[in-house]
Structure 1
Amino acid sequence: MKLPTLSTLNVRNKRVLIRLDLNTEIIKGKAQFSARMKAHLITLKELKKKKAKTIILAHQSRPGKPDFTSLKQHAKLLKVKFVPDILGKKAVSAITSLKPGQVLLLENIRSIKDEFNQSLKNNDLINILAPLFDIYLNDAFSVSHRSQTSVTGFPQVLKSGIGRVLESELKHLQKIKVKNALFILGGAKPKENIDILKKNKNVITTGIFGQLCTIAKGHNLGAQNKFLKDKVKEFVPKLKPLVKNIQTPIDFAVRVEGNKRKEIPLEDFPSKYEIFDIGKKTQALCIKKIKQAKYIFMKGVAGYCEDLKFCQGTHAIFKAITKSKAFSLVGGGHTTDAIQKLKINKSRFGYISLSGGALDEYIAGKKLPGIEALKKK
């Protein structure tokens, strides 16, 4: 089903409520300008050019987290108006007085309890905000796996469509043939990879995820087992029935005295040193598999890329993918950060996704509530 886009919707002089993902890193109290923000500006500029009255809903972190903050700084980064309110008189006044071509950002949507309320009848976000708007747009694929009012509620009561970021994500995701793809799964978030592992066998594992899969195969990594003890306890029992036919690392790079890199084959473990990267033999296995692939999905780095000597595995995989003729889809925050840090030519990848959890669920074949809500409308 084709979803309405800015090419088919008439937004001129209309009040448009748009859900963006402005969640970003907060460093020393300062919100950082992100790749997502840069992408969302494309949608906002088009709405501005088409003389829409644009009001943004977005979040920063979640209640209880240290980076759960106001969106005042985010508004400055986007160069749009801001009101520190969502449901009160200040917000309503700012919304109703907005002129064509102007853009307004409301306060952090997750500061409102009704964002997490599944009911539409007793929901102030729906009851107060929805009557003020003509159109709702979802431009945040990265939060479309959430069943939250700003994602799934408004499409049920307003004429709805998608922004350019979400449109681009869906277009490129449809290019990857999941059944024929090579999956390169790394990083430090096992939970997000397990659903993919359940449905696919052509998998290479790297990073902390690869280490956990190696432990699940019965290997003792020594110091790394202790370092990962909480993750081992939580995830290894879930991984044991899934890892038999997948490729796990056959050597690792550890950090020894003097902050030096040393590579150790799997058969020489357990080791007293903690693991920071995959070794050259594992890199060679990855490169061989990449050369044979028609479709590649990569998520998560292979090593500790904050230190370039332990980013060699990630670099080798990136280089192989960029030389490949396969369509490649790369995702995950640390992965995209590594591409930038290593100065890899982004145009050599098929598509670099801005999403994390939503991307995993889509690739695993799950239906995303935010997308389903738009289809139903």
Structure 2
Amino acid sequence: MKIPTLSSFNLKNKRVLLRLDINTEIIDGKAQLSERMKAHQITLDELKKKKAITVILAHQGRPGNKDFTSLEQHAKLIKAKFVPDIVGEPALNAIKSLKPGEVLLLDNVRNLKEEFDGTENNALVKTLAPLFDIYINDAFSVSHRAQTSVTGFPKVLPHGMGRVMESEIKSLEKINLKDTLFILGGAKPKENIDVLKNSKNVLTCGIFGQVCTIAKGYNFGAQNKFLKKEIAEFVPILKPLVKGIQTPLDFAVKVKGKRKDLSLNEFPSKYEIFDIGPETQKFYVKKIKQASSIFMKGVAGYCEERQFQEGTKAILKAIASSKAFSVVGGGHTTAAIAKLKINKKRFGYISLSGGALDEYVAGKKLPGLEVLRR
């Protein structure tokens, strides 16, 4: 079944419970305006214009982490009213007093243990659901999690998706495991493993590419020590998967503060790796030119230093120049596009999702999407 969208409902004077992902970086105690917040404004503006009564459920961080905070600052960033409560009298009174076109943000939903059971049979759903006409999920990025604010409410309320989720799904439907060239980098090998299980049309780079190279039997020397944890955790899993996928042909190391490119046969080395080398860049650019659709997630090197931005820049520029439909995802990758001043309009879609994106392109079913299809 197709997932209903905002266009499926008459929203005027309707009470809408909206799940957003406004989780953001906290710097010196201040919540930062994120790209996700900016994107969600499209959905919020439409709900306001159509005179819906909108109440937002969202989270910030995880319990026990430093960034687990109240959403009071977030409310100002998304131009919403705020109540420091979720299911108590202050929240219920604030919800009931809202007028059409107004928006209220409830406090961090992860303050409640009920958020983590993912069902409709708890106090969170039983308290809030009777106050609403429609549930809308606009947070594709958390839809891989079976948590109550994602999977509980759609079981008891008419439901659909917001404009951010709608555009994300439309774009990702053009990416399939059979025909797409996957460029997988970054520093989180775990996120890429499911793709390797389902596709061999893969170019690797970043920390992930290094770990895959080690899984093929190469020894980098100093870099192996740096990657000790990743090697122990992922090499046993990757060994049967790396045959047939492309790993880098050369790498850039830092010698006396300067970039030096080394071919694979020049390892082991006493220097740590910071980027892919020029031969790899040349080969990957050639592959990108031949692709009909491209998915990239994760940078190729240490982009904090200009001299080690070369690999990421070469790949992103090739994708931007390609006629292929492209999806680019991951926080560091989207940050690199801005830092390298590459026109983001040259990419088919820039995804704001992380783990949900990985699971979707690997062919997994996301609990938050499946429940919306009911």
1:290-310 Cα offsets, whole Å, 9 max, x none, are: 011101110000001111211
Assess if the C-alpha contact under 8 Å between 2:252 and 2:262 holds in 1. Answer: yes
**Equivalences for 1:121-270 in 2 at 5 Å?**
121=121, 123-257=122-256, 259-270=257-268
1:80-129 Cα offsets, whole Å, 9 max, x none, are: 101110011100000010000000000011111000113432x1111101
Shift of 1:22: 0.3
1:71 and 1:159, CA in 2 relative to 1: closer, same or farther beyond 3 A? same
Assess if the C-alpha contact under 8 Å between 2:145 and 2:366 holds in 1. Answer: yes
Equivalent-residue separation in structure 1 for 2:75 and 2:285 (angstroms)? 43
In structure 1, stretches of 5+ residues that fail to align are none
Q: Give the aligned partner of residue 299 of structure 1.
A: 297
Q: Give the aligned partner of residue 277 of structure 1.
A: 275
Residue type of the alignment partner of 2:214: I
Q: Give the aligned partner of residue 368 of structure 2.
A: 370
Equivalent-residue separation in structure 1 for 2:177 and 2:155 (angstroms)? 30
In structure 2, stretches of 5+ residues that fail to align are none
Whether 1:335 and 2:344 are equivalent positions in the alignment is: no
Equivalent-residue separation in structure 1 for 2:217 and 2:152 (angstroms)? 46
Shift of 1:243: 0.6
Equivalent-residue separation in structure 2 for 1:40 and 1:297 (angstroms)? 23
Equivalent-residue separation in structure 1 for 2:318 and 2:25 (angstroms)? 30
Equivalent-residue separation in structure 2 for 1:334 and 1:106 (angstroms)? 29
Q: Give the aligned partner of residue 53 of structure 2.
A: 53
Q: Secondary structure at the match of 1:301?
A: coil
Deviating runs (4+, > 6 A) in structure 1?
Answer: none
Q: Secondary structure at the match of 2:87?
A: coil
Q: Secondary structure at the match of 2:178?
A: helix
TM-score relative to the length of structure 2:
0.99
Q: Secondary structure at the match of 1:282?
A: helix
1:29-86 Cα offsets, whole Å, 9 max, x none, are: 1111111000000100110000001000001111011111111111111111011100
Percent of aligned pairs sharing the same letter: 72
1:207-245 Cα offsets, whole Å, 9 max, x none, are: 000000000011001111001101110000000001111
Q: Secondary structure at the match of 1:315?
A: helix
Equivalent-residue separation in structure 2 for 1:89 and 1:197 (angstroms)? 50
Equivalent-residue separation in structure 2 for 1:20 and 1:295 (angstroms)? 29
TM-score relative to the length of structure 1:
0.98
Assess if the C-alpha contact under 8 Å between 2:118 and 2:150 holds in 1. Answer: no
Q: Give the aligned partner of residue 33 of structure 1.
A: 33
Q: Give the aligned partner of residue 98 of structure 2.
A: 98
Q: CA RMSD in A?
A: 0.8
